[in-house]
A and B are shown apart, each in its own frame.
Chain A
């Protein structure tokens, strides 16, 4: 029985340098159970780099991670995945020529085993795909056989998010999931985030969308500036003015 007070994930002094550039400089914060943390900051502040460090695709070169209270090494995407950390990247990892089912199961296809001809179990996957899409109330994809290239941005984003759900993760990292989406589709993705949280998954989401996403659904807001944590707010104490001030570093702000 895990202590509800133990953070699911804790970052301590995470740093990353690219040659002469310090992309991350001693970033620390906690992600608690059933919580959405929004990661905000200006372009180049280091948000994507931080997500990549947690997901293991660009390993950090300083600091440590605690997962459910235990110190862990995250050096490859496999390490992160083994812990139950899934990532939805900024540039969607969707194949335009594959259909919804194929995209959902990419890399984790159900097959009949070598004795059964290594056949893809297409029907079983389709059934499971319908269940997952239904769970997340993704109702606008009319035909699961339609190639993803012909779906809308919101539908593709929904596929990308549902795909990581198939692995039943504890922590979900999303890099700008609402960028390039229309108003209605953005709303759908925000709904998806809420549903993830209600299923007891913890979320770190990067977004520039202060009003609709960050101040609406995030429980806490972590502000990065030039690779450092500039501020951290609980939603109750945050408003657009304070957050923007922390992002730009122009006005005074009250660190939490």
Chain B
């Protein structure tokens, strides 16, 4: 429902814009046309080309949101338990681990690099956390902190190395992932696993907020979003730009509020809003503010499209690369921490369960391009939720691992191909 609304709203906005543009530009267009027949820019391209453009731009979330709706309908018909509050709550928790790692993949993909070490970073960081908490008996928060710091540190090392040598990131990070797997094995005790049952670490994923608190948080989040939109609107007004309160503040805030309230209602019917979900969405929101509203966020996009242009503009491209890899390492580590909290420990198998490919798939399915310069942190949330919705449904119906693996593979191939198609790289 929200999808359709969003599409409808965007369409309306574009139409309104075209009408306004036509009025304002009548004079200048006539002038330009008399100067020469340059760029009156009427869209005379084929429907296909325009569709591809739309998918690359404002409508980038439309296909995946539509896909999620279809997935829900499909599995709900197979087994109505699929849409029970209990299962949806479960899906949210499953989304959080892959989604957090995918969130780290976003800045890397934006600068047109790749990090194949994220799963290994997550597993090794989680193991370090266990060493700190279980072996050394230190506070849980210290364990989490050291894990995230470790991830960021590995990210900085990788980023510095790749920025310096300009060696292909996929091989460097693959090498690092092997080295980290070795490091992780050497950190594990003889039993080959750490058990964190009974430590506060399990609370990270095991905590559900009381109903009133969940609602309070939702209201605060909506209010914060409204304030941000309003600041935007006020600035635009001050600058004398043509913006309307309804389009600029009302609709986006209304849509976000509707979506958030819907989710909180469903989750409240089970155990309440999970803490991990709040952290995940909170991190995404902060990160999204960073990418869309700050200068260094903008540079991520710029570097992904034309690094030498950024360098000539006087910005240190290597510093941006370093930042992207550091962010990725930190998110990957935190994803590993959440995974350990969910599975109540770490083992040699941690990080070997396809998290890497799932994280990449999630970001790409959500609309972040592998070719750099296009995407958003929200793609990690939406993409991770979409692939979780599929694997959860398959588990519920009882499909075997063979079907799940094949589906995951097909999804990665499909998402990458669509990405290539939309990006239309010239040969």
Contacts and interface: CB of A to CB of B under 8 A. Distances in A.
Contacts of A97: 301-302, 304-305, 373-374
B294 interface: yes
B308 interface: yes
B46 to A, nearest CB: 15
A94 interface: yes
A157 to B, nearest CB: 12
Interface string A120-133: 11111011000000
A205 to B, nearest CB: 18
A142 B38 CA distance: 12
Contacts of A184: 35-38
Interface residues of B, number: 44
Contacts of A95: 301-302, 305-306, 309-310, 373
Contacts of B301: 95, 97-98
B315 interface: yes
A168 to B, nearest CB: 16
A185 B38 contact: yes
A20 interface: no
B192 to A, nearest CB: 46
Interface string A85-118: 0010101111111100010001111010000011
Interface in A149-203: 150-152, 154-155, 183-185, 187-188
Interface in B217-233: 231-232
Contacts of A108: 313-314
A124 B32 contact: no
A105 B32 CA distance: 25
B80 interface: no
Contacts of B289: 117
A150 to B, nearest CB: 8
B312 A93 contact: yes
A185 B235 CA distance: 34
Contacts of A94: 306, 309
A248 interface: no
Contact of A77 (B25, B38, B309, B314): B314
B17 interface: yes
B35 A124 contact: no
Given A93-B312, A95-B302, A106-B309, A140 B41 contact: yes
Interface of B: 17, 21, 25, 28-29, 31-32, 35-41, 53, 57, 231-232, 235-241, 289, 293-295, 298, 301-302, 304-306, 308-310, 312-315, 373-374
13 contacts: A81-B314, A93-B313, A95-B301, A97-B374, A106-B315, A107-B315, A109-B295, A120-B294, A121-B235, A140-B38, A142-B21, A184-B37, A184-B38
